[in-house]
Chains A and B, each alone.
Chain A
């Protein structure tokens, strides 16, 4: 459930929507549990529904994505060393904001694969299963997503 929430959060960029959509998807998947193939696990089926809901949300959304500081880890608040340079931490946080903004500007399928790989640390095989695409397509899509992200970050932090 938590991994579904995080994926929805990455896709929608909105905490409350991610909560609502992952709950909705869970209820829909649960109601249709009898349709799930024995070979496929519940999460794969659940993820498909969640993905569709998120993509529809992105298409129809009227709310704007939140900034990373609202949903992401605020690094400077977690510094263990109290003597650490706060300005460096703040700079780091600003950098994360810029990266997050760039991720939010990616095409949904590019954003999705970046979230799954970088934020959720899924393996290529797991991503292929979730998205129902061949392994080669996973790597190719990830390449184009990272390339697109690189282009957006050029001149900003790269």
Chain B
């Protein structure tokens, strides 16, 4: 009995929304009319909801001026441009750093004034730094790829 009442209530809610938004078909309309006739509560709720809807339908946002929209699109282009700028800058920086590191290692190896042990020390320090850097980048990359909330700004 309770389940039936609940189902009826849910059905009324759906029909009520359709009625307010003029989405009732003929069959729905007949059913809704029947419900309103059978229950004063339903009828009162319908009237009250109609008032709410009429009030909210009168609300409108003001339209921003064309200048605001121009600024808006400029903002979007700027964001995209800066994103592309950062990518290009990063690629260039990686190329330069890699080349610099390669030349540095080359000059260390070619340097006849440095002892073997010093050369090995410098190369090991560089190798260790490189390994740490790759490890951190890889970790960040995998975390980013698997983060289900990456679209959400915290």
A100 closest partner in B (C-beta):
B59
The reply to whether A118 and B53 form a contact with Cβ atoms under 8 Å apart is yes
Docked pose: A19 CA to B75 CA in angstroms:
9
Chain B hits for A139, CB < 8 A: 13-14, 17-18
The reply to whether A119 and B59 form a contact with Cβ atoms under 8 Å apart is yes
In the assembled complex, B62 has its CB within 8 A of some CB on chain A: yes
Closest Cβ of chain A to B122, distance in Å, is 40
B149 closest partner in A (C-beta):
A52
Closest Cβ of chain A to B43, distance in Å, is 15
Q: Which residue numbers of A lie inside 8 Å of B, CB to CB? A: 1-2, 5-6, 9-10, 15, 19-20, 23-24, 26-28, 30-32, 48-49, 52-53, 56, 68, 71-74, 95-96, 99-100, 103, 114, 117-119, 124, 136, 139-140, 142-143, 146-147, 149-150, 153, 157-158
18 contacts between A and B (CB under 8 A): A15-B64, A26-B76, A27-B79, A27-B83, A53-B152, A56-B152, A56-B153, A72-B59, A118-B57, A139-B18, A140-B10, A140-B13, A142-B17, A143-B17, A146-B56, A149-B56, A153-B52, A158-B52
